[in-house]
Structure 1
Amino acid sequence: YSRCFIVGADNVGSKQMQEIRMALRGCAVVLMGKNTMMRKAIRGHLETNPNLEKLLPHIVNNVGFVFTNEDLVEVRDKLLANKKKAPARAGAIAPCPVTIPSQNTGLGPEKTSFFQALQIPTKISRGT
């Protein structure tokens, strides 16, 4: 393949990944896997295509490659068409800073355990 996209795959579910692969079928190949295995696979093809060496420094965190010979704009449009917003899952890291101002919640003192389970410090003032 003569062209390649480097894609971040954080918080992408298997169903969404399957839809992306089906949308790209016939025009592109998606390569995902453990970073060490992807490095090993790319190093195995360096003899036939020395330009692949430029990809090695980009294999960090949760990334994948989309290889294609087609027009990059068309493949990019197909990738972006499968981009979806999803609700946050437990343990997920927020992509932007989240600030909750301190205020009276209107909840009774018995609800402090709910916030403490979320590791949010609470304070009971005047019984409310």
Structure 2
Amino acid sequence: MAIKRTKAEKKIAYDQKLCQLLEEYTKVLIAVADNVGSKQLQEIRKGLRGDSIVLMGKNTLIRRCIKVHSEKTGNKDFLELSNLLVVR
């Protein structure tokens, strides 16, 4: 049986993955997925497989990761991404 990770460990792993993707790729697409069924998301992910990487997360977590990464690297262009995230 696998050991369950805590929420903090999951957030750290997510942060590392997002930072790695921001460093590796030059293009980012942000899409809102409210009220989208799991079957439709599955089909979208299947269609993008091989060409793209789909990373889903919560707005506040993504915004925090982008802010920290921007401060760490000194690249302020990443801060414009956080402005695109929906705030309700």
Partner of 1:53: 79
Provide the rounded CA distance (Å) in 2 between the counterparts of 1:18 and 1:2: 25
Partner of 1:87: none
What's the offset of the Cα at 1:45? 2.6
Bigger helix fraction: 2
Q: TM-score, normalised by structure 2?
A: 0.56
Partner of 1:26: 50
Q: How many residues align?
A: 62
In structure 2, relative to structure 1, the CA distance for the partners of 1:17 and 1:57 (3 Å cut) is same
Provide the rounded CA distance (Å) in 1 between the counterparts of 2:32 and 2:62: 14
Partner of 1:16: 40
Q: 1:4 aligns with which of 28, 35, 41?
A: 28
Q: 1:41 aligns with which of 46, 55, 65?
A: 65
Quick one: which amino acid aligns to residue 29 of structure 1? I
Moved over 3 A (4+): none
Bigger strand fraction: 1
What's the offset of the Cα at 1:36? 0.9
**Which one is further off, 41-50 or 19-28?**
41-50
Quick one: which amino acid aligns to residue 77 of structure 2? N
